[in-house]
Amino acid sequence: MGHFPNGWLHYLIGGLLIGAGTSLIFLFTGRVSGMSSVFTTTWSYFSDSPFFRQAKHLQSRGWRLVLAAGLILGTALWWWWLGPREASKTTVPAWQLLVGGFLVGYGARLSDGCTSGHGICGLASLRPPSVAAVITFLSTAIATAHIVAALGGR
Amino acid sequence: MKPASFAVILLGGTLFGFGLAFSAMIRPEVVLSFLRLEDLGLLLVLGGATGVTMIAYQLIPRLSKRPVLESAFDTKATRLSASTIGGAAIFGIGWGLCGVCPGPAFAGLGAGNWMLLLALFGIFAGAFVHGRTTRV
């Protein structure tokens, strides 16, 4: 299959598992599990800035960190059970991880959502702002990746 | 929130992280190969996750007044604004540069990919600058 040189089933199963996780959390707690908010709410532990001290951030900072810990735990479980023996490594240059990460953090918080918040949760809620955000970030991400590749980068 | 809610969130997060690892989304190389349109697998991940979540988000509030453990369902109330779109555009440029978004930045650490700490540091820094430059 030309569009799926590495197979397709593991992608679909992985996606269904992610959906099972967000659905379980919603059914029992009513919480929407976007993953970018924790990068703002966690600053409320260290900063007195009024933005970080907003009630909505103080009230959700605990469970958002628990959710992030769950993500690490889930991957660790996969590594132990099904993963390769050696640690996962990336060949993406350090500066790209740092600068790209900065733009990811700034942009996701300005937009109030990321691939999970606008992507999975926002689309699942049928919210027009999230649909617009997903179309926008997919477009700029695809363009950026092509430009980097054309310049000979990763 | 009740202690049981934290336990469910940890369990749900574990499923989420396991799914990210199983679908190879914790590897920036795989995400970048999607963004270069060489391997469209990410669309199946996003589609599968969104499909299941959509059933839950649309159906559960119609069947039940409140979640099992808490008093109300969250409703995210972002309105469409220049920030929604501008922020998404900036987010996309960063994602296209590093192949890491917020979920996998955490999840990848569970497979020993310590380089992702750089991305995680960058995301925290970006969120800090956003918070310090935004008026309440």
Residues A96-150 pLDDT 10s: 999 999 999 999 999 999 999 999 999 999 999 999 999 999 999 999 999 999 9
Residues B105, B91: Cα–Cα separation, whole Å: 14
Residues B14, B6: Cα–Cα separation, whole Å: 12
Q: A119 Cβ partners below 8 Å, 6+ apart? A: A113, A130, A134, B46, B50
Does the residue A102 lie in any domain? Answer: yes
Other C-beta atoms within 10 Å of B10: how many?
A: 18
For the segment B91-101, what is each residue's pLDDT rounded down to a tens digit? 999 999 999 99
CB-CB neighbors (< 8 A) of A145 in chain B: 32, 35-36, 96-97, 99
Q: For A8-12, A76-80, A86-90, B9-13, which range has the lowest pLDDT when averaged over its residues?
A: A86-90
Residues B120, B114: Cα–Cα separation, whole Å: 10
The pTM of this model reads 0.96
Q: What is the model's pLDDT at position A153?
A: 82
- Mean pLDDT for A9-28 is 98
Q: From the CA of A96, how many Å to the nearest CA of chain B?
A: 5
Residues B122, A51: Cα–Cα separation, whole Å: 19
Q: Is B22 close to A68, i.e. CB distance below 8 A?
A: no
Q: What is the model's pLDDT at position A1?
A: 54
Q: Is A5 on the interface with B (CB under 8 A)?
A: yes
Residues B46, A117: Cα–Cα separation, whole Å: 12
CB-CB neighbors (< 8 A) of B59 in chain A: none
Does the residue A50 lie in any domain? Answer: no
CB-CB neighbors (< 8 A) of B74 in chain A: 30-32
Percent of chain B with pLDDT over 90: 95
Q: What is the model's pLDDT at position A122?
A: 95
> A137 is in which domain, residue-wise?
90-154
Query: Collapsing DSSP states into helix, strand and coil, what is residue A56?
Result: helix
- Please determine, for residue A80, whether its predicted confidence score (pLDDT) is greater than 80: yes
Other C-beta atoms within 10 Å of B78: how many?
A: 18
- Please determine, for residue A5, whether its predicted confidence score (pLDDT) is greater than 90: yes
Q: Is B65 on the interface with A (CB under 8 A)?
A: no
Q: What is the model's pLDDT at position B4?
A: 98
Does the residue A132 lie in any domain? Answer: yes
Q: Write the residue in A111, A128, A140 that is nearest to B96 by C-beta.
A: A140
Q: What is the model's pLDDT at position B134?
A: 95
Looking at every residue in chain B, the average pLDDT score rounds to 96
Q: What is the model's pLDDT at position A2?
A: 78
Looking at every residue in chain A, the average pLDDT score rounds to 96
Does the residue A36 lie in any domain? Answer: no
Residues 70-99 of B with CB under 8 A from A: 70-74, 76, 78-81, 83-99
**The total number of structural domains that make up chain A:** 1
Residues 64-93 of A with CB under 8 A from B: 66-79, 82-83, 87-92
- Mean pLDDT for B64-86 is 91
For the segment B7-46, what is each residue's pLDDT rounded down to a tens digit? 999 999 999 999 999 999 999 999 999 999 999 999 999 9
Q: Write the residue in A97, A110, A117 that is nearest to B115 by C-beta.
A: A97
Confidence of residue B75 (pLDDT cuts 50, 70, 90): confident
Q: Is B16 close to A18, i.e. CB distance below 8 A?
A: yes
* A126 φ/ψ sector (left φ>0, alpha ψ -120 to 50, else beta): left
- Return the domain boundaries, chain B: 3-132
Does the residue A37 lie in any domain? Answer: no
